Amino acid sequence: MDLTWSAEEEAFRAEARGWLTENVAAWRAECGGAPASGDTREGFAQHLRWERRLFDAGWAVVSWAPEDGGRGSSLWEWLIFEEEYHRAGCPPRVTQNGIFLLAPSIYELGTPEQRAGILRRMAAGDDLWCQGWSEPNAGSDLASVTSKAERVEGGWVLNGQKTWTTRGGFCTHLFGLFRTDPDSARHKGLTYLLVPLATPGITVRGFGRLDGDEGFAEVFFADAFLADDAVPGGVVLGELEGGWAVAMATAGSERGLTLRSPGRFLATAERLLALADERGDGVLRRRAATAWMHADAYQQHTLATVTKLAGGARPGAEASLTKLWWSELDVELHEISLDLLGPDAELVGPWSKGWQFALSGPIYAGTNEIQRNIAAERVLGLPR
C-alpha cells in the first residue's frame, strides 16, 4: 500500500488550489461579499454563476470524460479536488443531485445517446436535476411508491406526488421512480424515468425547511404526458421495470462515495481544531482532536473504497456503513463547535447553520436506522 501522492497528483492539487482560491474570492466579491444560501431562490442564482465559472474552467466534474465537460481525471484526483474545494471554502454544489447522484447511474446504465445528450448540459448547469423518489407514504419504505406512469402512444402519462424534493423549485428536470406495471407490488414493476419539470400537468410547489430556506418542494403529476423523446436518448434510464436496480445503483454511489467526500469533513475538522485552539479547554480540545481523527479515518476508508472501484468493483451494501460514518461525523464535528462557542453558538453563523443541516444527515440518503438494517442483513448476514 502506498499512501503518498505522485508528482502528477501533487501538480494537480497545486493547480486546483490556485484556481479555487482565486476564483472563490472573485465569486464572493461578485455576490457582494456574502452569497445567500443556495437553498434560497436568490442564492441559487448566485450559486449557478459559481457553477458556470467551474464549468468554463473545466473544474465542474473533473473525473468525467472531456466530451462530457470533465478533464478525465482519476477518482484519486477527484478526491484531491474535493479536498481543495472544501479547504478553499467553496460553496455547496447546487448541481449535486445531478452530478453526484444521477450522473454515475447514467455512466453505468445509460445509453450513449443519454450520456451525450444529458451529461454535458448537467455539468454546465444548463439542466438542473432533482431527485424524485420520496412520496408522502414512501420514504424509508421506498418500494411502496405509488406514483404511476401509464404507457400510451408515444410516451407515458404520469400521476401521483413526490415530496422532500431538494431544490425542486429551482430545478428543470427530475429523475424519479414510477410504477409502470399497475398490478405490481413492492420492488417489481418500477421504472426510473427522466422528466422535464416544464411538462404540462406537473406542478412544483416549493416549501420551507426548518431553517427557513425554501430548500424543498412537492411535485404533483396530474395526467402529465411525458413523450418518449422528452429527454435526449429517451426518458427511461436502465431497463423498463428495472427501476429498482437503477435506484440502488444511484443510492450506492450517493451513500458510499460521491455525495459526501472526505474533503468536506477534513476541512470542517481543520476549522474545528482552529476554533478549539482559540476557545477550548483541555476536554474540548481533546474532543476536537478525536473528531479530526474520525475525519481522517473516513479519508483512509475512502482511499480503500476508490481502490476497489478502480479495480472494477461496484459500490454495494457496504455503502450503508460509509453513510453511517459520514453522517454521524458531521453531527459530531458541529456539536463540538457549539460547545466551543458556548452562548455565542446561539447567534446564527456558519457553525450553527452547519449544525442544523448536519442533523438532517442521519435522515437523507436513507435514514441511519435503515442503513443499520442493510448493514446487519446484507453486510453481516444477520437474520431479518
Ligand X SMILES: Cc1cc2nc3c(=O)[nH]c(=O)nc-3n(C[C@H](O)[C@H](O)[C@H](O)COP(=O)(O)OP(=O)(O)OC[C@H]3O[C@@H](n4cnc5c(N)ncnc54)[C@H](O)[C@@H]3O)c2cc1C
Report residue 215 CA to chain centroid gap.
14
Which triple of cell numbers denotes residue 295?
Answer: 475525519
Please name the amino acid found at residue 193: L
CB of 119 within 8 A of CB of 126? no
Q: Which is nearer to ligand X, 76 or 133 (CB)?
A: 133
The distance of closest approach from Cβ of residue 164 to ligand X in the complex, given in angstroms and rounded to an integer, is: 4
The helix-helix angle for 262-279 and 282-310 (nearest 10°) equals 170
| Distance (Å) of CA 239 to CA 110, 141, 244 | 10, 22, 10
Compute the least distance from the CB of residue 28 to ligand X, in Å: 25
Residues that bind ligand X (CB under 6 A): 97, 130-134, 139-140, 164-166, 360, 363-364, 366-367, 369-370, 373
Q: Least distance to ligand X from the beta carbon of 41, Å? A: 17
Minimum gap (Å) between residue 44 Cβ and ligand X: 14
Contacts for 206 with CB less than 8 Å, ≥ 6 apart: 168, 169, 170, 214, 216, 217
Q: How far is the CB of 300 from ligand X (least distance, A)?
A: 27
Question: Under 8 Å CB-to-CB from 297, ≥6 apart: which residues?
Answer: 325
Query: How many angstroms separate the Cα of 359 from the Cα of each of 111, 312, 331?
Result: 37, 34, 6
Residue (73 or 147) nearer to ligand X, CB: 147
Please tell me which residue in 83, 135, 254, 332 is annotated as part of the active site: 254
Considering beta carbons, is residue 164 or 265 the nearer one to ligand X?
164
Question: Is the distance from CB of 162 to CB of 174 less than 8 angstroms?
Answer: yes
Of the pair 97, 352, the CB lying nearest ligand X is at: 97
84 catalytically annotated: no
Task: Report which residue's Cβ sits closest to ligand X.
Answer: 139
Please, which residue, 139 or 316, has the CB nearer to ligand X? 139
Could you give the residue numbers annotated as active site? 254
